[in-house]
Amino acid sequence: MSIIETFIKTISFFDELKDEGIIEDYALIGGLALSAWIRPRTTRDVDLMVIISKKISWDDLVSIIKTRLQKKVSVHKATPQMTIQEKFSFMYGHIQVDIIGTGGFDLAVDAIKNAVVADVFGRSIKVATPEYLILLKLIPLSSQDIVDIKELAKKIDMHKVSNLAEKYFLLPKLESIIQLKKS
């Protein structure tokens, strides 16, 4: 199964979960989300952030994936010091799907609420805006994240992203990558 087929099946499944009220909302992040804003690049996975319904738990969502998709789910254990407290992954064909929850992660909630609908591989989906993608990429900050941040920064109002970075205590990391103009 190709990345496009995996993406479409994953989005269809999460649309069903949203229609059923299991999740409140979700948005595409990561490498595929970049394709809505800058020249697409190769990626090895599909990354989604989800807000689950108040009537279920994170473990319930993991069980739903296991049961309905018949997938082995790898739950990532978090420590109190980690920004991302809820994350799991599963393989769809040969492609990994990473699901990040919003529990204790206000930046993720805001990224989903401020996401915009964009066309990705012929499907309309909420995609995190460039400003929020930059902030999300500041957290793991891999070498690829730095490249992505610099590309996204060419397309946005840096004053806005600076204010957001300050709100989420990410401004020093942002300034270490991008020279911000002092006003």
> Can you tell me the mean pLDDT for 144-156?
93
Q: Are residues 54 and 139 in the same domain?
A: no
Neighbouring residues of 20: CB distance < 8 A, sequence distance ≥ 6: none
Q: Are the CB atoms for 45 and 97 separated by under 8 Å? A: yes
How many domains, in total, are found in the chain? Answer: 2
Q: Are residues 121 and 135 in the same domain?
A: no
Query: Angle 36-133-74 (CA atoms, 0-180°, nearest 5)?
Result: 100
The per-residue pLDDT for range 74-100, each reduced to its tens digit, is 999 888 888 899 999 999 988 999 999
- The reply to whether the predicted model has a pTM over 0.85 is yes
Q: Are residues 79 and 169 in the same domain?
A: no
Neighbouring residues of 181: CB distance < 8 A, sequence distance ≥ 6: 158
CA atoms within 13 A on the CB side of 172: 1
Question: Residue 66's domain spans which residues?
Answer: 3-128
Distance CA 118, CA 49 (A): 16
Percentage of the residues of the chain whose pLDDT score is greater than 70: 98
Distance CA 147, CA 141 (A): 10
CATH number of the domain at 85, please. 3.30.460
